[in-house]
Amino acid sequence: MLLSPYEIKDLTDRRLAASRADGCIVLVDGREKVNLRFARNSATSNGARSTVDVTIISQFGQQSGGASVSSLDEAALEEAQRRSEEIARRTPADPEHMPPLGPQSYAEGIAFDAATAGARAGRLADAAHVAIAGAQEAGVDAAGFVEAGASFSAMATSAGLFAYDRGTVADLTVSARRKDGSWSGWAGGSQHRIDELAPDRIARRAIGKAAHAGEPFDLDPGQYTVILEPAAVGELLGFLLWSFDAREADEGRSWLSGKGGATRLGEHLLDRRVTLTSSPADPLAPVGTFGREGLPNRPTAWVEDGAIRTMFCARFWAAKTGREPRPAPGGMVMAGGPTGVDEMIRATKRGVLVTRIWYANMLDPRSLLITGLTRDGNFLIENGRIAGPARNFRFNESLIAMLGNIDAIGPTERINGGDMGVGALAAPPLLVKSFNFASRSSSI
């Protein structure tokens, strides 16, 4: 369900007026989306979904409680509000509790497109048809997911804050597999405007990787020069979204914790070409206009020229440590460079091109050591050209080491982050040396 700011203001005004608490926060979220799935060149499932969720947080002094309901019905909202007050009255006081935030100034959201908000299953089937027809022509099987729709998020407080943001997204991912299951390829795209999704280009990339000639090389695990395509880089960058927390760094339990109790803010931990930013105005991957506590999302450089520049900080910790409060990034963009993937291939004597990674998980949060696997499009590069498919690997690699071992950076692309529910991400392809492939994976 999509609501305008006026409809929401009407709702939140009523709830704030009905509050019996010292402080009250009302959050309203909603979405209206449609998706379609296919596999083995045929439709499997689909769904249109319309939801709304209202959360009311009541505060009595330092006591706080929250209750939400997926309904706009006044009786249900009233019940949720009374429940949040009842919870608050029965919770122990939290000395870290912060009263509701007052009025803020927010950026104008740029991520809404009416055509995408109104997209229906027929439009999605057009995109899926492109992938399936292409796969049939190439003699491979296509599986994929296409989704489009809109969402909004709003917040109002008894201290006078009102925030509203909305956005649209259209995603398409295609996995193509040889009929005998001996190789696969993947490609994906994500846009705010469905008209820019380019299903034909996405399908061609996935199918081309799957249909690439040759049986996969069986390489030994070890350290390789790798070309990580943007989807692979973006998946790894997702681990950084919550890793810039000032409090964790201060408390000695973060990759940003230094020896002797200091943080590593300002240190050049990464290659000088690494810059990580987030902004509601970013043209590729704009983040929302406000964060968790109602704080505005402002253009922020988290890492600049390889140095740690900014950490996010909740209001309580900011007040305690004398910092400016800042919300966590709702997404991230890694600055690009001039070297395209083709040029990276030409510059590589022996290496592996990685299309996508899978099931990445943290092994050691201190070194940001991540494990995971390559998937759907690993290729051996020899003497400046693709020699053929190369079997998948498990990697165990530190993000700090990886972002310190960069040989070249390509143009930044928006990454499909829909599957894992991470925020908007944009990443470039990277040419990285000494990337640690720890074991073989025979899986396709």
Q: In the window 298-327, what residues touch another protein (CB under 8 A)?
A: none
Selected binder of another protein within 16, 24, 65, 189 (CB under 8 A): 65
Stretch that binds another protein, among 79-87, 190-198, 271-279, 293-301 (CB under 8 A): 79-87
Q: Does 361 bind another protein (CB under 8 A)?
A: yes
Q: Does 23 bind another protein (CB under 8 A)?
A: no
Stretch that binds another protein, among 8-16, 226-234, 338-346, 365-373 (CB under 8 A): 365-373
Stretch that binds another protein, among 32-40, 225-233, 319-327, 342-350 (CB under 8 A): 32-40
Give the C-alpha distances (Å, rounded to integers) separating 85 from 14, 40, 52, 59, 63: 16, 52, 21, 7, 9
CA 101 to chain centre: 27
Q: Does 42 bind another protein (CB under 8 A)?
A: yes
Neighbour tally for 248: CB within 10 Å:
19
Task: State both tokens at 435.
Answer: 């990337």
Selected binder of another protein within 325, 372, 410, 429 (CB under 8 A): 372
Selected binder of another protein within 4, 91, 182, 223 (CB under 8 A): 91
Q: Does 387 bind another protein (CB under 8 A)?
A: no
Q: Does 141 bind another protein (CB under 8 A)?
A: yes
Selected binder of another protein within 6, 17, 95, 349 (CB under 8 A): 95
Stretch that binds another protein, among 193-201, 235-243, 319-327, 417-425 (CB under 8 A): 417-425
CA-CA-CA-CA dihedral for 15, 20, 24, 28, to nearest 10 = -30
Q: Which residue lies nearer to another protein by CB, 391 or 414?
A: 391
Which residues 200-259 are close enough to bind another protein by CB under 8 A? 251-253, 255, 257-259
Q: Does 367 bind another protein (CB under 8 A)?
A: yes
Question: Please, what is the minimum distance in Å from the beta carbon of residue 310 to another protein?
Answer: 20
Selected binder of another protein within 194, 368, 415, 432 (CB under 8 A): 368
| Inter-residue contact 439 to 393 (CB < 8 Å) | yes
Size of the residue set binding another protein (CB under 8 A): 110
Q: Which residue lies nearer to another protein by CB, 84 or 277?
A: 84
Q: Which residue lies nearer to another protein by CB, 181 or 266?
A: 181
Q: Does 94 bind another protein (CB under 8 A)?
A: yes
Task: State both tokens at 45.
Answer: 């499932």
Stretch that binds another protein, among 9-17, 72-80, 222-230, 237-245 (CB under 8 A): 72-80
Q: Does 38 bind another protein (CB under 8 A)?
A: yes
